[in-house]
Chains A and B, each alone.
Chain A
Amino acid sequence: MKIVVPIKRVIDHNVRVRPTADGTGVDSTSVKMAINPFCEIALEEAVRLKERGLASEVLVVTIGTAAAQEQLRGALAVGADRALLIETERALEPLAVARTLTRVVEEERPGLALLGKQAIDSDDNQVGQMLAALLGWPQATFASAVELEGEKARVTREVDGGMVTLELALPAVVTADLRLNEPRYARLPDIMKAKKKPIERRTLEEMALDLPAQTEVLAVETPTPRQRGVILDSVDALIDKLRNVEKVIR
C-alpha cells in the first residue's frame, strides 16, 4: 500500500514574522524556511508504517515554488521514497490545494493520504478535510495514534473533550496532531543520498485545473501588543491588585 504525504514549506516556527512593507502580506525574504511541523509528523508516521512493513511506498508531494525542493529533499532524507513538486508561483487557497492533491491521489491511488492537521503559516486547518470530501473518502483529523489492520485504519483523535477512536475503511485521509510521534532527524549519509534522488517535477499549469481564487487578503498587520505589566514583590500585593483594582476575584 502506498501512502501519499502532502507537505508544505512554511516560515520556521521560531521566526518572528512581520508584515511586508505594503502591509498586504507576510515578509518571507531571507527568513528561515522549514517543513510545516505537522507535515513532518505526518511524514514520520508514514515512514514508520513503511518500516513496520505496513506500507510499500511513501510519496511526498508539495505544491509550491521551486525553492520547496529543499523541503522535499529533507523528506527524502528521513525516509520518503519519492518526491513530487507541483510548481507554481501562486499562493493557493486550501480548496485549490485540495483539488490539486485530489488529482495526484487519483493518479497515484494510495491507500492512505496522511497530512498535517494545519499549516502553521496560514493556520487554516482545512486541506485534509477538503481532500477527503473531494475524494469521497472517510477522514480522521487530529490523529494521535494510527494503526493499520488489513483494509482498515484505527485512529485515535485528540478532540476538545478528550480522545475519540474511529475505524476507517481504506482508502482514507488522516491528519496528524502534535503527539502522533516525534519526528527523527536526518542522518548525514541519508542527507547525502537524498541529494542524488530525483525529484519529479511538473507545473500546476500543465495539470489544467480550474482553481479560481475566492478570497483576497486586504491587509496583514501586527496586533496591538499587550502592555507589559508590573512585577509585584509579594503574594499579598498580587491578591490586593486582583481583588481591589481588577476586581476579577472575590
Chain B
Amino acid sequence: MALDEIKIGGLGASRRRVEDNRFIRGKGNYVDDIVLPGMLHMEILRSPVAHARIKSIDTSAAWDMPGVRLVLTGEMMAARNLAWMPTLSYDTAAVLATDKVRFQGQEVCAVIADDPYIAKDACAKIVVDYEILPPIVNPVQAAAPDAVQIRDDKAGQVGNKVFDWEIGDKARTDKAFADADLVSKVELHYPRTHPSPI
C-alpha cells in the first residue's frame, strides 16, 4: 500500500482493505486451496436414506483400490471411543454412523486417498446393507405421539424431543396474549443452515 494511501484518522475515516490485494490476484488461500506436502484427500460416504439400521458394511473393494490409504467405519471409530462427539447444546452427535443412520446424508464411512477422484471411486465401491426404517422429516412428524424414535442411542430418551428450552415469564406472556385485541399467527419454515468455511 502506497504511503499516500494511508490516511490517518479516527472514527469515520475511510480505509482501504488490506486483504483485497491477495483476493484480486487469486491468492486467497481458502481452505481448499491449502496444499501441504504429502497431503491426502478425504471423501465421505453418506446415507441415501433418512432412517435405517446398518446391517453390514463391506469395505473390502475400497481397501483394494490403488491410492486408497484408509477406509474408516463407525465401528473402527467406536473401538477408539471416537464414534460420538459432544455438541454445543449438551447433546451428542455421531461422527460416523454405528448402529443406525438417523438422517439422510449422515456420514457412514470416510475414505482417505491420494487424490479426491480416487477417494470418490472408493466410496462408490463400499457396500452398505441398510434395513430401512420409517423416516421422520419434519418437526410435526417428530412430535406425533406414535412417531418412531430416532435417538434411541440416548439413555432414557422418550419420544423425539431432545431439546427443551424456555426463557422469560410464561404467566405474563400468556396474559398479554389473552388481553390482546388481536392475536395473529404465522407458520414459518426455516431451512436448516449449515455454516461451512470457504
Q: Do A and B bind each other?
A: no
B residues in contact (CB < 8 Å) with A: none
